Amino acid sequence: MNNKELSPHNQSYLHNFTFHLKVEKGLSPNTVESYLNDIRNLLIVSSKKVEEINSNDIVNYFVSMQEIGISNTSIARKRSSLKAFFKFLAEEEVSISLNIEEIPAIRISRKLPDVLSVREMLHLLDNIETSDALGLRNKAMLELMYASGLRISEVLELSLHDIFWNEKVVRVMGKGRKQRIVPVAENSLFFIQNYYKKGRPELKKDNETDIFFLNRFGRKLSRMGVWKIIEKISLQAGIKKHISPHTFRHSCATHLLEAGANLRIVQELLGHVSINTTQIYTNIDRNFIIKEHRLYHPRG
């Protein structure tokens, strides 16, 4: 994440706040960067001057993250960053539209979020057995789900014609028949190619099908089949958390954002458009999306 998308006007406020955090508060570089990432994302999503941001903008910002699957614990941390920023502006006598007390509180759920840490996710993926065609398929499928944040329905419908090897992207048909192009993390692409060359031909047998991920009978996998695969693999990896197909999508989004990726780009990657965030999808350059993905994804 950098300041290139921020207006000079907003950059100046962020620069002053950075000085405040580093010099006056004496916070560590990692803590300062965490604050700045949270604030930059809001400023980019709102596309407003700092003085014009209101409580509705912040509510929509929080809602968009909840829709992606970001845990309330993470959102509560972002709320603290924003509150500190706007409190600083108020103390500096900047004329802001926002009443700090109107920034909504975030209820922290005691239920474990449906997200794995980067360490847990890589441990799970790296421990998948790949000695046979089914293992090669499982490895490729879960790597893709984490690498690109695909919905389970998008994975099951993926065809041979939807994978563009040279460009390192896949074409998916999301909700509402909305088509999008999604980058595949570099390290994950190797395992997808390995399945395509060695595992899929063995599973396909004599069947005529373009479906990419096949079951042991050479036909399209079922949702229940994927659930059972994930359950078995998570048990073998010793993961204690509840894991579902959506865990891979949620984890992909969370890890990108925690690394500093642009919230707009993550929403575009996931194909998650809501009435609150539709405007942010206009005029986003595809090459920029791919660059952001490869820069911030743990498998990039």
**Which of 78, 79, 139, 151 is an active site residue?**
151
Sheet with 179-183, side-by-side order of all strands: 163-164, 169-173, 179-183
**Which of 22, 281, 291, 294 is an active site residue?**
281
- HSE, CB side, 13 Å, CA atoms: give it for residue 101: 0
User: What's the rounded Cα separation, in Å, for the pair 69 and 75?
Assistant: 10
286 flagged as catalytic: no
151 flagged as catalytic: yes
Distance of CA 129 to the CA centre of its chain: 26
For the record, the structure tokens of 75 come out as: 């959102």
DSSP symbols for 268-283: HHHT---TTTGGGGTT
**Which of 180, 200, 249, 299 is an active site residue?**
249
User: What's the rounded Cα separation, in Å, for the pair 90 and 10?
Assistant: 15
249 flagged as catalytic: yes
**Which of 79, 250, 272, 297 is an active site residue?**
272
| CB burial of residue 166 (10 Å; 0-12, 13-18, 19+) | exposed
**Which of 49, 220, 246, 294 is an active site residue?**
246
For the record, the structure tokens of 185 come out as: 């993390």
Grouping H, G, I as helix, E, B as strand and the rest as coil, residue 47 is coil
**Which of 175, 178, 205, 223 is an active site residue?**
175
Inter-helix orientation angle 8-19/72-91, to 10°: 90
User: What's the rounded Cα separation, in Å, for the pair 115 and 239?
Assistant: 12
281 flagged as catalytic: yes
Please list the active-site residues.
151, 175, 246, 249, 272, 281
